[in-house]
Structure 1
């Protein structure tokens, strides 16, 4: 896309920000790496994949930049413009990881764990996840919790697993918040069963709109686990989860309303049917 074509494109797409993007285009043509990546990602957003690949590859050839390597790996992994290749994605994630790009390190670890673009190697995956966690990647902390809990690439270590889940939860990772709630609810990882403590964690997850945590809040209120039993609160949380697409919550609403309001039961039964068709 030449300058005239780009200016026409940007004037039509984003007239209020046109001057900014035209400046970025000029800087990208002058081989300024941040601008090159910004324009490449703009091309990606608008499905101009040929231009996107060209610009990211040029940024790598000139600068060997970690962000450009990471973004190109994403493009290959996502199979954009029919150029999908997990092997190429692995190659570029590895190059970016060796430059200490946090998300590339985490993605490389995932590929070792799942055998994508390489053979499964849980020990190497553990090593890369640990590196990612050390530089603050909360998703890696959560995955390390799973690995230490299940003994993947290492010995099972309940204490270490819980520590990583707690680190991930402290970083705002909602799956970790929910998992800690389940640990306390069921008495896992050498922890005593504690329904009140579980509810505290489910509530944190629910406040972040984690659908399983919301469902569990409803379930706890329905049955009086860790909280005073309340049909009203159970229905409130089941409705929240249902609105987030959880069919099981919709079916629970049908079950509960069948006891108190036939019209509401009919309404939610219809919604459950619609949700099941969409699955």
Structure 2
């Protein structure tokens, strides 16, 4: 589940632990548990949150995350869902700043069928609640997730996908910045606009979105800007740890792998043919192999295009 400790919980606290300690005051019970949580001492954090969960909604929220994901305790997704429902359905003003995040997490639980019966319809409803029509103070993650949901065959509606990626993008979501660039590039849910596509792909690339980097490499390669294609591809393939990159960028690992595979394949093509870089058959083979390892489907599709003379 989405952990709010990275931003919202501490931001919503009346004071930070730093300010509290500067005055010599003891940290609040929640912040004491939160410190253990952030340092990875989940069992200690769990004990402290359990003590105050009936009077502190932030502690209840963190417990929901911990039970759902099995942090410091055995996985208990039903219990995690229970806590998120309590927050979402509470009339207490102290729960209000957590409701968007709770709705996002409940939507994820329904989509995954974990702790509740699988239901795409219920996931969609909860994510729409969490997204709050693009409110920047709502769940930006839910806004981006809706963009991805409406891009999938089950609920495919590219205009809705473009709407939600636009909202999330302008609210700072990195994954949606890349998605928006791709949608402009191919005219998905909006009019095709190469200038806007390039602008958003570059922005997303600069911030570390590997999926956007892969598409930017393709854009440069098909436009015969081979030196630029090779340079961006080298950066996109420099780190093979997709899971680590996913945590750093908060982008889905599946899409990061696809982007890295695209970049690796086009870099191999440049090395094989001496386009934008010096010919190097051995290095080309290495990057073809890397593309296949990262995403066999993407590599196979690009191989077919190369054999047909399309790239």
Q: TM-score range by the shorter chain?
A: 0.7 to 0.9
Distance 1:94 1:230 in 2: 52
Cα gap change, 1:192 to 1:46, in 2 (>3 Å): closer
CA shift at 1:273, angstroms? 5.9
Under a length normalisation based on structure 2, what TM-score does the superposition of the two structures give? Answer: 0.67
Cα gap change, 1:184 to 1:271, in 2 (>3 Å): closer
Distance 1:254 1:156 in 2: 34
Q: Using CA pairs below 8 Å that are at least 6 residues apart, which structure has the higher relative contact order?
A: 2
Distance 1:173 1:257 in 2: 34
Which residue of the partner structure matches residue 209 of structure 1?
208
Cα-to-partner distance string for 1:183-228 (whole Å, 9 max, x where unaligned): 2222222x3333333222212211221101112111111111xxxx
Q: Please, which moves more after superposition, 143-152 or 78-87?
A: 143-152
Distance 1:116 1:258 in 2: 46
Which residue of the partner structure matches residue 112 of structure 2?
114
Residue in structure 2 matching 1:42, options 27, 35, 41: 35
Which residue of the partner structure matches residue 7 of structure 1?
none
Q: Number of residues paired by the alignment?
A: 244
Is 1:240 paired with 2:241? no
Cα gap change, 1:183 to 1:248, in 2 (>3 Å): closer
CA shift at 1:73, angstroms? 1.1
Is 1:249 paired with 2:240? no
Is the Cα contact below 8 Å between 1:251 and 1:272 reproduced in 2? yes
Structure whose alpha-carbon radius of gyration is higher: 1
Is 1:71 paired with 2:62? yes
- Aligned-CA RMSD value: 3.1
CA shift at 1:110, angstroms? 1.2
Distance 1:207 1:69 in 2: 37
Q: How does 1:1-279 map to 2 (within 5 A)?
A: 20=21, 26-27=26-27, 35-61=28-54, 63=55, 65-98=56-89, 99-100=95-96, 101=98, 102-134=100-132, 135-150=137-152, 157-189=157-189, 191-224=190-223, 229-245=224-240, 246-260=260-274, 261-263=278-280, 266-267=282-283, 269-270=285-286
Cα-to-partner distance string for 1:1-59 (whole Å, 9 max, x where unaligned): xxxxxxxxxxxxxxxx8x939956x44xxxxxxx2222213323445443222210111
Is the Cα contact below 8 Å between 2:269 and 2:284 reproduced in 1? no
Secondary structure at the counterpart of residue 243 of structure 1: coil
Cα-to-partner distance string for 1:134-174 (whole Å, 9 max, x where unaligned): 2421111122234445586xx76543332222101101112
Distance 2:149 2:290 in 1: 38
Under a length normalisation based on structure 1, what TM-score does the superposition of the two structures give? Answer: 0.74
Is the Cα contact below 8 Å between 1:66 and 1:95 reproduced in 2? no
